Amino acid sequence: DTGVSQDPRHKITKRGQNVTFRCDPISEHNRLYWYRQTLGQGPEFLTYFQNEAQLEKSRLLSDRFSAERPKGSFSTLEIQRTEQGDSAMYLCASSLGLLNEQFFGPGTRLTVL
Amino acid sequence: AQTVTQSQPEMSVQEAETVTLSCTYDTSESDYYLFWYKQPPSRQMILVIRQEAYKQQNATENRFSVNFQKAAKSFSLKISDSQLGDAAMYFCAYRSAFQGGSEKLVFGKGTKLTVNP
């Protein structure tokens, strides 16, 4: 299958712990996006990459959040010192270019206890 | 900043009938894209239909069509001949078409569609 994949699918952690999520985009897609979706809400943009360059970050992305996309392939999203308010579904999407559709992955559901 | 509003948290339709989901948006840009995404329960989001703001003709994809009213900043989705598999959350989304502008999607809160057999 050549869709967007995310790992893990579910993560339960205790408040204060660090967590890292991985996203593998569709092969050859140069753009990769991260969104966060809380219960009853639509996805909210966090950040995006064009190849390895991080071109935009939302104000939602506090200093505890960091994202990387080394070599312009997969991406990781790390949350340090997790808080209960970080509990959400973290969605990754990729696209081939500016005018192309964003394809979404299945998401990583984070629960912070 | 752009905003997208979906005023119907939930809708229901009988199988084989037609339903319309509403969406309004606010922007000062003249060139943009609008989308409807479908998110089935516990499954990933998929694109249903897309509309370029510069096109006057409403987009159509099989049983799905839109009513795009640029002046009113309205973008509704019509689903004809509803099927059980259409049951899902539907999200309206906006994206700038400005070269060098933001590529992010701005989503509404979604409408949960139930299809009754």
**Contact status of B99 with chain A (Cβ, < 8 Å):** yes
| Nearest CA-CA distance, residue A109 and chain B, Å | 11
Q: What is the pLDDT of residues B16-33, one digit of tens each?
A: 999 999 999 999 998 999
Residue B46 CA to residue B8 CA, distance in Å, equals 20
**Contact status of B4 with chain A (Cβ, < 8 Å):** yes
| Nearest CA-CA distance, residue B14 and chain A, Å | 24
Cα distances (angstroms) measured from residue B71 to each of B8, B20, B51? 21, 19, 15
**Contact status of B47 with chain A (Cβ, < 8 Å):** yes
* Run of H or E including A108: strand A108-112
Q: How many CB pairs under 8 A join A and B?
A: 51
Please give the span between the terminal C-alpha atoms of chain A, in angstroms, as a whole number.
34
Res A12 pLDDT > 90: yes
Quote the pLDDT of residue A28: 87
Res A98 pLDDT > 80: no
Q: What is the pLDDT of residues B35-93, one digit of tens each?
A: 999 999 888 999 999 999 999 899 999 999 999 999 999 999 999 999 999 999 999 99
Res A107 pLDDT > 70: yes
Q: Which residues of A touch B108 (CB under 8 A)?
A: 42
B-chain residue closest to A40, CA distance: B109
Q: What is the pLDDT of residues A39-96, one digit of tens each?
A: 989 999 999 999 999 999 998 888 999 999 998 899 999 999 999 999 999 999 999 9
Q: Which residues of A touch B96 (CB under 8 A)?
A: none
Query: Would you list the DSSP string of chain A?
Result: --S-EEE-SEEEE-TT--EEEEEEPPTT--EEEEEEE-TTS--EEEEEEETTEEEEE-TT--TTEEEE-GGGS-EEEEESS--GGG-EEEEEEEESSTTSPPEE---EEEEE-
Residue type, B94: Y
Quote the pLDDT of residue B99: 77
Quote the pLDDT of residue A1: 55
